[in-house]
Structure 1
Amino acid sequence: MTGDPHSHRPTQAVVLAGGQGSRLRPYTDDRPKPMVEIPGTGTPIIGHQLSWLAAEGVTDAVVSCGHLAEVLQEWLESADLPLNVTTVVENEPLGRGGGLKYAARHLPHPDRPWYATNGDIWTRFSLRDMAEFHAERDATATLALARPRIPWGAVETDAFGHITDFIESPPSPYLINAGVYVFSSSFTALLPDRGDHERTTFPRLAREKSLAGFPLPQGAYWRAIDTAKDLTEAAKELAAQTTG
């Protein structure tokens, strides 16, 4: 590889921030989901995301808005942000894949790799390591993979049916799509103009062995903010980190 040895590390990202967040009502009655604040921080979810992206070397972000877009745009214009932000609004619903493609067309460097993240994810891990992982596998797309905790207590039994243990909120036995991605520049053209890339583009890349999965490092913080309980848990975890 010639030139910059870190040229495969993206400096641009798309943040998908158009969700309605119906399960987060009443918090989302007057704001889009990414504008909901983590209690005790005074900063909306997207503010935490943009700070993380900037700390990981991102200089330009495209924020794809939808539901109550003007609330998000107004905050972005007034906030002291650590990177350049452009907002785009879909005039008509394009689906997740179409929306991602539309936003990607506004990236400043279409010939370079890029990150993408769902606007309701609050996480911290090394995107640089994920970009290295992506480049080493020569992947077209790489998904971050999380192992969330099951919200219920689990019960263990022996072969005879006796209960042997109770485990509170155990880790899931399955990895899930963590909503953070690294994409090669060629990925944009593979996205549908309308529709869901997770039903079309991703399965195609998986068949071609061009889709990679990056397991989040042990101990990395990750939480999807879907419900009011998630907000409460995130605030508790943040307080524990601060006092720990």
Structure 2
Amino acid sequence: MTGAPHPYPTQAVVLAGGQGSRLRPYTDDRPKPMVEIPGTGTPIIGHQLNWLAEEGVTDAVISCGHLAGVLQDWLDRAELPLRVTTVVETEPLGRGGGLKYAAGSLPRPDEPWYATNGDIWTRFPLRDMAAFHHERAAEATLALARPHIPWGAVETDAFGHVLDFIESPPSPYLINAGVYVFSAAFTGLLPDRGDHERTTFPRLARERRLAGFPLPQGAYWRAIDTAKDLTEAAKELSAQRR
């Protein structure tokens, strides 16, 4: 693995430029990561920054886009647990180009780094993921989640008899959880424009330099895409507190 030998990054990029059209009207006046989880008084980005700091991150670069000023104003007022820099794309660069542009502002370009999508609310040991990444000499490692299917499932036998109804079962497939560990050299593999998941990731997969870290059993993970996700996140938080 290229870059610093220490397996635990201390810097991260948060991608927070999405418009969040499926979360309207919450996102009419704020970017998606600035939407608050009901009952917490804290926006999604606040939960993320606290988690990153708890996992040893001291510096974060936030890539802003839609309504960037709202997010920057909140960052200026908030008591943050780490140092934060913001960057704003002057023109659309695509997901891979945006990631590369933001990584250019990392304070230690010769060290590995984390990245996370700005609409993810999760808690799991990032250091374990970084150690997994380091042990496999990967250039990039994806966190993998097994989300719950939003519909009820029906279990049948070979003769078509209904055996059971299962409410929101876990998916049989793992998905990209939107949290990453990258080597220092990964930045140079990103496209200046375009989507790294169509270019860089497939190339690394063919070369066996892309790893997948399944989230530990019981780890909390939720992508906040819709108003229903906000409601479910609030319920889950309440249950955890009880």
TM-score tier after normalising by the smaller chain length: over 0.9
The question of 1:13 aligning with 2:12 is answered yes
Query: Which residue of 2 is the match for residue 68 of structure 1?
Result: 67
Query: Which residue of 2 is the match for residue 104 of structure 1?
Result: 103
TM-score (norm 2): 0.98
Query: Which residue of 2 is the match for residue 59 of structure 1?
Result: 58
Deviations 1:132-160 (A, max 9, x none): 00000000000000000000000111111
Q: In 1, distance between residues paired with 2:200 and 2:156? A: 41
Query: Which residue of 1 is the match for residue 21 of structure 2?
Result: 22
Q: In 2, distance between residues paired with 1:159 and 1:41? A: 47
Amino acid at match of 2:119: D
- For the aligned residue pairs, the C-alpha RMSD in angstroms reads 0.8
Q: In 2, distance between residues paired with 1:148 and 1:71? A: 31
3-state SS of 1:186 partner: helix
Q: How far did residue 7 of structure 1 move?
A: 1.9
Query: Which residue of 1 is the match for residue 133 of structure 2?
Result: 134
**Structure 1: gaps (5+ residues):** none
Q: In 1, distance between residues paired with 2:237 and 2:108? A: 35
Q: How far did residue 92 of structure 1 move?
A: 0.2
Amino acid at match of 1:82: P
3-state SS of 1:230 partner: helix
Query: Which residue of 2 is the match for residue 194 of structure 1?
Result: 193
3-state SS of 2:169 partner: coil
Q: In 2, distance between residues paired with 1:77 and 1:16? A: 18
TM-score (norm 1): 0.97
3-state SS of 1:100 partner: helix
Q: How far did residue 8 of structure 1 move?
A: 2.1
Query: Which residue of 1 is the match for residue 49 of structure 2?
Result: 50
Percent sequence identity over aligned pairs: 85
Q: In 2, distance between residues paired with 1:7 and 1:209? A: 21
Amino acid at match of 1:144: A
The question of 1:148 aligning with 2:137 is answered no
Q: Give runs of ≥4 in structure 1 deviating > 3 Å.
A: none
The question of 1:164 aligning with 2:163 is answered yes
3-state SS of 2:184 partner: coil
Q: In 1, distance between residues paired with 2:120 and 2:44? A: 8
Q: In 2, distance between residues paired with 1:160 and 1:17? A: 50
Q: In 2, distance between residues paired with 1:133 and 1:69? A: 34
Query: Which residue of 1 is the match for residue 223 of structure 2?
Result: 224
Q: In 2, distance between residues paired with 1:159 and 1:237? A: 36
Query: Which residue of 2 is the match for residue 240 of structure 1?
Result: 239
